[in-house]
Amino acid sequence: MKVTSADIVISAVKPDQYPDSALPEFALAGRSNVGKSSFINKLLNRRNLARTSSKPGKTQTLNFFLINEELFFVDVPGYGYAKVSKTEREAWGKMIETYFTSREQLKAVVLITDLRHPPTSDDRMMYDFLKHHGIPCIIIATKADKIPRGKWQKHLKVTKETLEVEKDDPIVLFSSETGEGKDKVWALFQEYMD
Ligand code: GDP
What tens digit of pLDDT does each residue of 53-76 get?
445 546 589 999 999 999 999 999
CA atoms within 13 A on the CB side of 154: 6
Tell me the pLDDT of the chain averaged across its residues.
Answer: 93
Higher pLDDT, 80 or 118: 118
For ligand 1, whether the C-beta of 21 sits within 6 Å is no
Say if residues 77 and 57 touch (Cβ distance below 8 Å). yes
What tens digit of pLDDT does each residue of 120-162 get?
999 999 999 999 999 999 999 999 999 999 999 999 999 999 9
Residues in contact with 141: Cβ distance below 8 Å, sequence separation at least 6, in sequence order:
113, 114, 115, 155, 156, 159, 171, 172, 173, 174
- pLDDT category at 89 given cuts 50, 70, 90 is confident
**ipTM of the complex model:** 0.99
Q: What is the mean pLDDT of residues 87-93?
A: 89
- Burial group, residue 115, by CB count within 10 angstroms (0-12, 13-18, 19+): buried
Cα 18 to ligand 1 centre (Å): 27
Cα 83 to ligand 1 centre (Å): 20
For ligand 1, whether the C-beta of 52 sits within 6 Å is yes
How many whole angstroms from its chain centre is CA 30?
Answer: 6
Cα 20 to ligand 1 centre (Å): 31
Domains of the chain with CATH codes: 6-193 (3.40.50.300)
Cα 38 to ligand 1 centre (Å): 5
Determine the pLDDT at residue 56. Answer: 53
Q: Which atom of ligand 1 is nearest to the CA of 56?
A: 2
Say if residues 84 and 38 touch (Cβ distance below 8 Å). no
Q: Residue 63 corresponds to which amino acid?
A: N
Which of 111, 176, 180 is the pocket-test mutation for ligand 1 (most atoms within 8 Å of CB)? Answer: 176
Instruction: Indicate the Cα dihedral angle 111, 115, 117, 118, nearest 10°.
Output: 50
Q: How many CB atoms lie within 10 A of CB 182?
A: 18
